[in-house]
Amino acid sequence: MTRGASQAFDEAALLALRMPGQPTVPIGPVWLTEVARDFTALGGVAVLTLLTVLVTVHLLLRRLWLSAVLVAAAAISGTIISNFLKDVFERPRPVLTAIAEYGVGSFPSGHSTASAVVYLTLGILMAKSADRAQMKFFYVLVAVLLTGLVGLSRLYLGVHYPTDVAAGWSIGIAWALICALIASAVEKRLTKARRFACCVLP
Protein backbone atom coordinates (compact mmCIF):
# COMPACT_ATOMS: atom_id res chain seq x y z
CA MET A 1 0.00 0.00 0.00
CA THR A 2 2.78 2.46 0.88
CA ARG A 3 4.36 1.91 -2.56
CA GLY A 4 1.04 2.35 -4.34
CA ALA A 5 0.97 -1.22 -5.64
CA SER A 6 -2.60 -1.73 -4.47
CA GLN A 7 -3.98 1.58 -5.76
CA ALA A 8 -5.14 0.27 -9.13
CA PHE A 9 -6.93 -2.68 -7.51
CA ASP A 10 -8.47 -0.45 -4.84
CA GLU A 11 -9.85 2.05 -7.33
CA ALA A 12 -11.14 -0.67 -9.66
CA ALA A 13 -12.91 -2.39 -6.77
CA LEU A 14 -14.64 0.82 -5.70
CA LEU A 15 -15.67 1.70 -9.26
CA ALA A 16 -17.14 -1.79 -9.64
CA LEU A 17 -19.60 -0.80 -6.92
CA ARG A 18 -20.65 2.33 -8.85
CA MET A 19 -22.97 2.98 -11.76
CA PRO A 20 -21.00 3.18 -15.06
CA GLY A 21 -19.95 6.77 -15.67
CA GLN A 22 -21.37 7.89 -12.31
CA PRO A 23 -18.70 7.24 -9.67
CA THR A 24 -20.71 8.90 -6.88
CA VAL A 25 -23.79 6.73 -7.47
CA PRO A 26 -23.61 3.22 -5.94
CA ILE A 27 -25.08 0.28 -7.80
CA GLY A 28 -28.39 -1.08 -6.60
CA PRO A 29 -31.61 0.53 -5.38
CA VAL A 30 -31.65 3.82 -3.50
CA TRP A 31 -32.73 2.17 -0.24
CA LEU A 32 -29.54 0.11 -0.23
CA THR A 33 -27.51 3.29 0.29
CA GLU A 34 -29.55 4.12 3.39
CA VAL A 35 -29.08 0.58 4.66
CA ALA A 36 -25.33 0.97 4.16
CA ARG A 37 -25.39 4.20 6.16
CA ASP A 38 -27.21 2.40 8.98
CA PHE A 39 -24.69 -0.43 8.97
CA THR A 40 -21.73 1.96 8.91
CA ALA A 41 -23.15 3.71 11.98
CA LEU A 42 -22.69 0.45 13.91
CA GLY A 43 -18.94 1.09 13.67
CA GLY A 44 -19.13 4.79 14.43
CA VAL A 45 -17.69 6.53 17.46
CA ALA A 46 -21.08 7.36 18.99
CA VAL A 47 -22.55 3.85 18.78
CA LEU A 48 -19.41 2.00 19.88
CA THR A 49 -18.71 4.45 22.71
CA LEU A 50 -22.27 4.15 24.02
CA LEU A 51 -22.17 0.36 23.72
CA THR A 52 -18.79 0.13 25.45
CA VAL A 53 -19.88 2.39 28.33
CA LEU A 54 -23.15 0.53 28.88
CA VAL A 55 -21.52 -2.90 28.79
CA THR A 56 -18.70 -1.76 31.08
CA VAL A 57 -21.14 -0.33 33.62
CA HIS A 58 -23.20 -3.52 33.43
CA LEU A 59 -20.13 -5.63 34.15
CA LEU A 60 -19.08 -3.36 37.00
CA LEU A 61 -22.53 -3.61 38.58
CA ARG A 62 -22.21 -7.40 38.40
CA ARG A 63 -18.74 -7.07 39.96
CA LEU A 64 -17.07 -8.68 36.96
CA TRP A 65 -14.08 -6.39 37.32
CA LEU A 66 -11.72 -8.12 34.91
CA SER A 67 -14.31 -8.35 32.14
CA ALA A 68 -15.17 -4.66 32.58
CA VAL A 69 -11.51 -3.68 32.33
CA LEU A 70 -11.09 -5.89 29.26
CA VAL A 71 -13.98 -4.28 27.37
CA ALA A 72 -12.98 -0.71 28.22
CA ALA A 73 -9.25 -1.24 27.66
CA ALA A 74 -9.73 -3.07 24.36
CA ALA A 75 -12.00 -0.35 22.96
CA ILE A 76 -9.80 2.55 24.06
CA SER A 77 -6.49 1.00 23.03
CA GLY A 78 -7.93 -0.17 19.70
CA THR A 79 -8.99 3.38 18.89
CA ILE A 80 -5.56 4.72 19.84
CA ILE A 81 -3.82 2.18 17.61
CA SER A 82 -6.11 2.98 14.67
CA ASN A 83 -5.60 6.74 14.98
CA PHE A 84 -1.85 6.30 15.36
CA LEU A 85 -1.63 4.24 12.18
CA LYS A 86 -3.75 6.79 10.31
CA ASP A 87 -1.26 9.50 11.28
CA VAL A 88 1.68 7.29 10.25
CA PHE A 89 0.41 6.33 6.79
CA GLU A 90 -1.56 9.54 5.99
CA ARG A 91 -3.36 7.89 3.09
CA PRO A 92 -5.91 10.21 1.44
CA ARG A 93 -9.52 9.16 1.29
CA PRO A 94 -11.10 8.08 -2.01
CA VAL A 95 -12.16 11.22 -3.84
CA LEU A 96 -14.22 10.32 -6.89
CA THR A 97 -16.38 7.58 -5.41
CA ALA A 98 -17.16 8.89 -1.94
CA ILE A 99 -20.82 9.71 -1.35
CA ALA A 100 -20.31 10.63 2.29
CA GLU A 101 -17.85 13.04 3.85
CA TYR A 102 -15.68 11.74 6.68
CA GLY A 103 -12.46 12.77 8.38
CA VAL A 104 -9.00 12.52 6.93
CA GLY A 105 -6.88 9.40 7.02
CA SER A 106 -7.98 6.36 5.07
CA PHE A 107 -5.60 3.60 6.17
CA PRO A 108 -6.60 1.64 8.16
CA SER A 109 -10.38 1.98 8.29
CA GLY A 110 -11.19 3.22 11.78
CA HIS A 111 -14.75 1.88 11.63
CA SER A 112 -13.50 -1.58 10.62
CA THR A 113 -10.82 -1.61 13.31
CA ALA A 114 -13.04 -0.38 16.13
CA SER A 115 -15.99 -2.59 15.26
CA ALA A 116 -13.74 -5.66 15.10
CA VAL A 117 -12.21 -4.85 18.50
CA VAL A 118 -15.47 -4.09 20.30
CA TYR A 119 -17.80 -6.67 18.77
CA LEU A 120 -15.26 -9.50 18.83
CA THR A 121 -14.27 -8.71 22.42
CA LEU A 122 -17.92 -8.84 23.45
CA GLY A 123 -18.47 -11.98 21.38
CA ILE A 124 -15.52 -13.70 23.03
CA LEU A 125 -16.73 -12.72 26.51
CA MET A 126 -20.26 -13.96 25.85
CA ALA A 127 -18.97 -17.16 24.25
CA LYS A 128 -16.77 -17.79 27.26
CA SER A 129 -19.72 -17.53 29.64
CA ALA A 130 -22.01 -19.71 27.50
CA ASP A 131 -22.62 -23.33 28.46
CA ARG A 132 -23.53 -24.79 25.08
CA ALA A 133 -21.29 -24.97 22.02
CA GLN A 134 -24.13 -23.71 19.82
CA MET A 135 -24.40 -20.52 21.85
CA LYS A 136 -20.64 -20.00 21.79
CA PHE A 137 -20.71 -20.32 18.01
CA PHE A 138 -23.72 -17.98 17.75
CA TYR A 139 -22.08 -15.20 19.79
CA VAL A 140 -18.87 -15.30 17.78
CA LEU A 141 -20.83 -15.51 14.51
CA VAL A 142 -22.86 -12.40 15.39
CA ALA A 143 -19.67 -10.52 16.27
CA VAL A 144 -18.07 -11.49 12.95
CA LEU A 145 -21.26 -10.61 11.04
CA LEU A 146 -21.51 -7.13 12.58
CA THR A 147 -17.82 -6.49 11.93
CA GLY A 148 -18.17 -7.64 8.34
CA LEU A 149 -21.24 -5.50 7.67
CA VAL A 150 -19.51 -2.38 8.97
CA GLY A 151 -16.47 -2.93 6.74
CA LEU A 152 -18.51 -3.72 3.64
CA SER A 153 -20.65 -0.64 4.18
CA ARG A 154 -17.49 1.49 4.14
CA LEU A 155 -16.66 0.12 0.70
CA TYR A 156 -20.19 0.56 -0.62
CA LEU A 157 -20.28 4.17 0.55
CA GLY A 158 -16.91 4.73 -1.11
CA VAL A 159 -15.22 6.25 1.93
CA HIS A 160 -12.50 3.59 2.15
CA TYR A 161 -10.44 1.41 -0.16
CA PRO A 162 -10.61 -2.40 0.15
CA THR A 163 -7.09 -2.53 1.59
CA ASP A 164 -8.13 0.01 4.25
CA VAL A 165 -10.98 -2.22 5.36
CA ALA A 166 -8.90 -5.41 5.18
CA ALA A 167 -6.20 -3.79 7.32
CA GLY A 168 -8.80 -2.56 9.80
CA TRP A 169 -10.30 -6.02 10.11
CA SER A 170 -6.89 -7.63 10.54
CA ILE A 171 -5.74 -5.15 13.19
CA GLY A 172 -9.05 -5.27 15.05
CA ILE A 173 -9.25 -9.07 15.11
CA ALA A 174 -5.63 -9.41 16.21
CA TRP A 175 -6.01 -6.81 18.96
CA ALA A 176 -9.26 -8.32 20.27
CA LEU A 177 -7.59 -11.73 20.49
CA ILE A 178 -4.49 -10.28 22.17
CA CYS A 179 -6.62 -8.47 24.77
CA ALA A 180 -8.65 -11.63 25.40
CA LEU A 181 -5.48 -13.69 25.86
CA ILE A 182 -4.03 -11.14 28.27
CA ALA A 183 -7.26 -11.09 30.26
CA SER A 184 -7.33 -14.90 30.34
CA ALA A 185 -3.73 -15.04 31.59
CA VAL A 186 -4.46 -12.47 34.30
CA GLU A 187 -7.58 -14.38 35.34
CA LYS A 188 -5.59 -17.61 35.71
CA ARG A 189 -2.97 -15.86 37.83
CA LEU A 190 -5.63 -14.33 40.06
CA THR A 191 -7.35 -17.72 40.42
CA LYS A 192 -4.07 -19.35 41.44
CA ALA A 193 -3.36 -16.53 43.89
CA ARG A 194 -6.79 -16.90 45.49
CA ARG A 195 -6.37 -20.67 45.79
CA PHE A 196 -2.94 -20.22 47.35
CA ALA A 197 -4.32 -17.67 49.81
CA CYS A 198 -7.13 -20.04 50.79
CA CYS A 199 -4.63 -22.84 51.44
CA VAL A 200 -2.20 -20.71 53.43
CA LEU A 201 -4.56 -18.52 55.41
CA PRO A 202 -6.66 -20.16 58.16
**Would you say 108 and 164 are in contact if contact means Cβ atoms under 8 Å apart?**
yes
98-137 pLDDT tens trace: 655 566 678 889 899 999 999 999 999 999 888 889 999 9
Q: Which residue has the higher pLDDT, 195 or 47?
A: 47
pLDDT at 26: 87
The Cα angle at residue 170 between residues 185 and 36, in degrees rounded to 5 = 120
Q: Are 37 and 100 in contact (CB under 8 A)?
A: yes
- Cβ within 8 Å of residue 19, ≥6 positions away: 25, 26, 27
pTM of the model: 0.88
Range in 44-48, 70-74, 100-104, 113-117 the model is least confident about: 100-104
- Asked if pLDDT for residue 96 goes beyond 70, the answer is no
Q: What is the per-residue pLDDT across 136-192, written as a single tens digit (0 to 9) for each?
A: 999 999 999 999 999 999 999 888 889 999 999 999 999 999 988 888 887 777 666
C-alpha 103/C-alpha 191 separation (Å) is 45
Q: How many CA atoms lie within 13 A of 63 on its CB side?
A: 0
